[in-house]
Amino acid sequence: MPSGLAALLDDVAALTRLAAVSLDDVGAASAKAGAKAAGVVVDDAAVTPQYVTDFKPERELPVIWRIAKGSLFNKFIILLPIGLLLSAFLPWAITPILMLGGLYLCFEGAEKVIHKLGHHQDVAEDVSQVQDMFALENERVSGAVRTDLILSAEIMAIALSEVASRPIAIQAAVLALVGLVITAAVYGAVALIVKMDDFGLHLAQKPSAALQGFGRGLVKAMPIVMSALAIIGTAAMIWVGGQIIIHGLAVFGFAGPEHLIHDIAVAAGAAVPAIGGLVEWLVGAVGAGIVGFILGSIIALALKALPSKKH
């Protein structure tokens, strides 16, 4: 019995060491995958605040929470199992599915630009004409969750590519950890951004003149920040969508656009050595954005030209 107990304890210790190694692997792979997906994460954080504007302050955090829950549903219920199944049985299908999502992002972003250029009515006027704010909230949440699905798919695909050769359990753990951490980071940041003006109002009521001045500065700055984020978010949709399409074409053997943009970006960066990396990234993003805007505009104009159904 003692020898049997000792053997059992040895087995438990071995399993514990194995679990610790596995956890280390998951943590390391998750950190690496999260770092590679950082660009898409930033885009996600820039896109989301535009869906929360125009609501009363007491509805802002509930709306963000609804979108965050939708994002978790996207990642854990839809993308994680689909990603694992595709990785195991149809790895070739991941790229075309992502390309379809990229086309949707291009369309969504280009449609916003076309609408903005063609209509000069202020958004606040549009919102003031909406009678049913509950319906508007549902529409905004649905739109945000749809956009999140595409951005989350890109994030999860990047994470999956980092652990494609690992056992299925490691893949699942990494995807789950990356999905949870990134969702918390993105929507936590969005909540801070959206509530910053309320924080400014709170500071403006403090007895300290310095805090009052800082608070008033926050309140004045937030409309500018939100407008800038709306522009950045739209640009991010078009850029990320274009980048997905360009990379997908390269995967299927049509690498001309990707090589052309890369070469132009590298040459531009080399021309300004002091900030070469930043210039290279910006030129590459602009190139992908041009491709994305052209594709998105074609889809938007084609859909607009279709005969509408009369009820």
Q: Supply the DSSP symbol for 76.
A: I
pTM given for the model: 0.73
**Are the CB atoms for 269 and 280 separated by under 8 Å?**
yes
- Is pLDDT above 60 for 280? yes
Cβ(82)–Cβ(138) under 8 Å? Answer: no
pLDDT in tens, 86-129: 888 988 888 898 898 889 889 988 998 988 887 655 444 455 55
In tens, the pLDDT along 180-211 reads 888 898 898 888 888 888 888 888 888 888 88
**pLDDT single digits (tens) 211-240:** 889 889 988 888 888 788 878 888 888 998
**Amino acid at site 167:** P
Using N-to-C axis directions, what is the helix angle for 133-162 and 57-73, rounded to 10°? 40
CB-CB contact of 51 with 67 (8 Å): yes
